[in-house]
Structure 1
């Protein structure tokens, strides 16, 4: 999958599977997620690195670059009947400034062009749920750890 640039200032270069890109993506995840993870568990660096390395190997990662500076990551993966959205992290200095909403809108517009639903999950106690609900996601399920969301395809939303 490819994420086109978002004028005037955001680009989404694909992160090739290099150690430097893995380290960058992990550093962003740690900065964004550690405060939420430690609400329930201690931060286990080795375990978190292992989980992240598995995710990095399994799906396409893209940097989120603002005026050329890498400030976050996102993953979009086209499945048979939906788009999987995830690994969406911004460095703390770039959170709560509307960048996340712009990136999410942009990625959702790509799925709308494909006319497929978008699926994602997030930690139950993470505040990001309000962002997703404002963008039309509805709960599709939950576990002890995660809330699973889906945003219906454009044609379904328009016919409702």
Structure 2
């Protein structure tokens, strides 16, 4: 599996929203929180194309990642893999790369995951520890 990253631009916003919705829809529907417009608005409100990269696997777009470097940590704000690419090690390979880079800079990584989503187990398997929770999200650090 050859993973590469491609920079995004403002014109990619609709494509990124579509990837986010495809990746999260099942989890959101399961907890009764799926709302297409809210999902779109929440992403676009904080989208920064300079921080976002498409994830390509063997030349095919498989998802995207957005990391917000902060003074004392990295915020893994988005990591979405399209459903047809999930369960194949893509997310794990991308996350392992992020972890290696953060460790090299001695930076903790923070993130949140939707309550009830399989992503919670995914992040826990990769060494993330729960620090807090809210009505819809669980917060982690590594």
- Please give the TM-score of this superposition, normalised by the length of structure 2: 0.93
Change (3 A) 1:107 1:12: same
Q: CA deviation at 1:38?
A: 1.2
Provide the alpha-carbon RMSD of the alignment.
Answer: 1.6
Structure 2 counterpart of 1:129: 120
Contact in 1 for aligned 2:21/2:36 (Cα 8 Å)? no
Larger Rg: 1
Contact in 2 for aligned 1:122/1:147 (Cα 8 Å)? yes
Q: CA deviation at 1:116?
A: 0.9
Structure 2 counterpart of 1:13: 6
Deviates more, 1:54-63 or 1:121-130: 54-63
Deviations 1:82-137 (A, max 9, x none): 01113111111100111111111011111011111100000111011111111111
1:11-160, aligned counterparts within 5 Å? 11-18=4-11, 21-41=12-32, 43-57=34-48, 60-151=51-142
Aligned residues: 142
- Judging by fraction of residues, say which structure has more strand: 2
Change (3 A) 1:30 1:115: same
Distance in 1, Cα, partners of 2:128 & 2:17? 26
Structure 2 counterpart of 1:156: none
Distance in 1, Cα, partners of 2:21 & 2:79? 12
Partner of 1:147, secondary structure, is: strand
Distance in 2, Cα, partners of 1:144 & 1:117? 24
Q: CA deviation at 1:58?
A: 8.3
Deviates more, 1:114-123 or 1:67-76: 67-76
